[in-house]
């Protein structure tokens, strides 16, 4: 009797579980995968969805594979990592697409997936084919206007016939993804409004849910800060009691306007001689120092790589944070993760307008100061506004309201329910 009952329960549990395939061309050994893929899959797994995850991992990151494997195993997520092919350009990507699709078809025979969830455009190429060939549901998690990002970021030169052809191909595919997806995920309301304005989609209603890049509010939590540890860190960085610390958090790359941020700091330094600029980044330390030298502020620069557990402490050392992102068409769809993490620690931001929903979030939650021009005069006006005290609790509540992982998981769960009903 006992064995029969156990067998019945096991069969019912198997029936209740919904098998889902998640495809990401980004690796899970990358910080991006660890912060913006795995937490959502864990949350959805707890709601009864059984995930198989295909990702492409960079060879240099494979040393961290066992740690990720243990996390996924503990949450009943099957991981099928492939090694990312780097060279030659274009052909390596085509090769990876063929490999991912072949693996996906093999896994479908075993798991009979109900839905394929595709992160960004490369994955969506495969997802669209699987929908048409296997008649399974397709979720397009677009993450941004990918083809436009490549052009705006100067990775694709449209003067080159090859890149012009690739761009045109992906813009056509973008429409097909949106038309054929059972649901589309956008990071911003700005991008959603842009998509819904496209004449090519007016006769084909697109279902879009907005889910921003959420923050880990368990990690980025002011109440978990050890004050003794914070004091030790402050001392190790030689930060004095009267110092005004401006923070830059994250990578220094194509989109982040280092020269303009350094010029802003130079203006701030003229107003407040105790100002210091803390960069928490693993990227391009020499470039940061060279740029600081150019603006005559090198002696006021602090650079700290900062492991993930240390980042909340480094944020709490600061009075204000800054990020200037190059305004462009593709940035309508951008959701900077750092905004949620900084707000969660109760620190206001100074940032520019015309990037995703950033300016709306700042205004809605009174969480900082906006600039709409990159000029000394605009910086001076912003610095005057920064003198007005901000409500730390209001900023933290704003992070909880807008950027919580729990809220993101619930929105994804609602999408899955709608798609599979």
Sign of CA dihedral 334, 335, 339, 343: positive
pLDDT digits (tens, 9 = 90+) for 230-261: 999 999 999 999 999 999 999 888 899 999 99
**Chain centroid to CA 376: how far?**
31
According to the model, what pLDDT value does residue 35 have? Answer: 87
- Gap between the Cα atoms of 92 and 260, Å rounded: 36
According to the model, what pLDDT value does residue 7 have? Answer: 44
CB-side neighbour CA atoms (13 Å) of 378: 16
Alpha helices in 202-274 (DSSP H): 227-236, 258-271
Q: Which residues of the chain have pLDDT under 70?
A: 1-16
Closest CA to 77 of 88, 64, 68, 86: 68
Residue that the structure tokens 């008649």 belong to: 135
Closest CA to 347 of 385, 420, 398, 309: 398
Q: Are 117 and 95 in contact (CB under 8 A)?
A: no
Map residue 64 onto helix, strand or coil: helix
* Residue percentage of the chain with pLDDT more than 70: 96
pLDDT digits (tens, 9 = 90+) for 93-103: 999 999 999 99
Running DSSP on this structure, what letter comes out for residue 336? -
According to the model, what pLDDT value does residue 12 have? Answer: 41
Q: pTM for the complete prediction?
A: 0.89
Residue that the structure tokens 């959420």 belong to: 214
According to the model, what pLDDT value does residue 15 have? Answer: 41
According to the model, what pLDDT value does residue 3 have? Answer: 53
Q: Which domains does the chain have, with CATH numbers?
A: 2-212+405-420 (3.40.50.2000), 222-403 (3.40.50.2000)
Q: How far is CA 93 from CA 56, 85, 217, 372, in A?
A: 11, 7, 35, 38
pLDDT digits (tens, 9 = 90+) for 322-379: 999 999 999 999 999 899 999 999 999 999 999 999 999 999 999 999 999 999 999 9
Q: Are 278 and 237 in contact (CB under 8 A)?
A: yes
Token pair in block for residue 10: 């096991």
pLDDT digits (tens, 9 = 90+) for 339-353: 999 999 999 999 999
Beta bridge partners of 276: 245
Closest CA to 58 of 77, 32, 78: 32
């Amino acid at each position: 009797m006992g064995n029969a009952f156990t067998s019945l329960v096991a069969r019912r549990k198997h029936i209740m579980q919904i098998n889902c395939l998640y495809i990401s061309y980004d690796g899970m050994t990358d910080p991006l995968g660890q912060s913006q893929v795995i937490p959502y899959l864990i949350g959805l797994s707890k709601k009864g969805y059984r995930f198989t995850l295909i990702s492409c991992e960079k060879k240099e990151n494979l040393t961290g594979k066992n740690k990720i494997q243990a996390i996924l195993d503990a949450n009943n997520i099957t991981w099928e990592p492939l090694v990312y092919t780097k060279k030659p350009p274009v052909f390596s990507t085509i090769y990876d697409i063929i490999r991912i699709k072949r693996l996906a078809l093999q896994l479908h025979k075993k798991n009979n997936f109900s839905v394929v969830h595709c992160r960004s455009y490369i994955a969506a190429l495969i997802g669209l084919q699987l929908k048409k060939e296997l008649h399974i549901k397709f979720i397009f998690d677009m993450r941004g206007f990918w083809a436009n990002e490549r052009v705006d970021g100067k990775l694709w030169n449209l003067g080159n016939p090859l890149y012009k052809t690739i761009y045109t191909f992906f813009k056509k595919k973008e429409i097909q993804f949106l038309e054929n997806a059972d649901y589309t995920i956008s990071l911003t309301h700005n991008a959603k409004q842009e998509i819904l304005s496209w004449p090519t989609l007016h006769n084909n209603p697109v279902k879009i849910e907005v889910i921003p890049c959420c923050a880990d509010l368990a990690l980025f939590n002011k109440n978990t800060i050890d004050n003794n540890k914070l004091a030790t860190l402050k001392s190790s960085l030689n930060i004095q009691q009267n110092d005004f610390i401006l923070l830059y958090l994250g990578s220094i790359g194509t989109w982040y306007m280092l020269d303009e941020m350094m010029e802003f700091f130079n203006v701030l330094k003229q107003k407040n001689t105790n100002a210091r600029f803390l960069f928490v980044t693993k990227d391009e330390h020499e470039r940061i120092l060279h740029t600081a030298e150019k603006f005559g502020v090198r002696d006021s620069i602090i650079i700290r790589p900062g492991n993930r557990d240390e980042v909340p402490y480094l944020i709490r050392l600061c009075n204000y944070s800054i990020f200037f992102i190059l305004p462009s068409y593709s940035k309508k769809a951008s959701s900077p993760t750092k905004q949620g993490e900084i707000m969660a620690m109760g620190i206001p931001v100074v940032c520019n307008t015309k990037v995703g929903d950033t300016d709306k979030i700042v205004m809605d939650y009174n969480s900082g100061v906006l600039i709409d021009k990159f000029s000394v005069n605009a910086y001076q006006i912003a610095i005057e506004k920064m003198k007005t005290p901000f409500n730390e609790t209001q900023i933290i509540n704003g992070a909880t309201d807008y950027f919580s992982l729990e809220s993101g998981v619930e929105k994804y769960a609602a999408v899955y329910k709608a798609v599979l009903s």
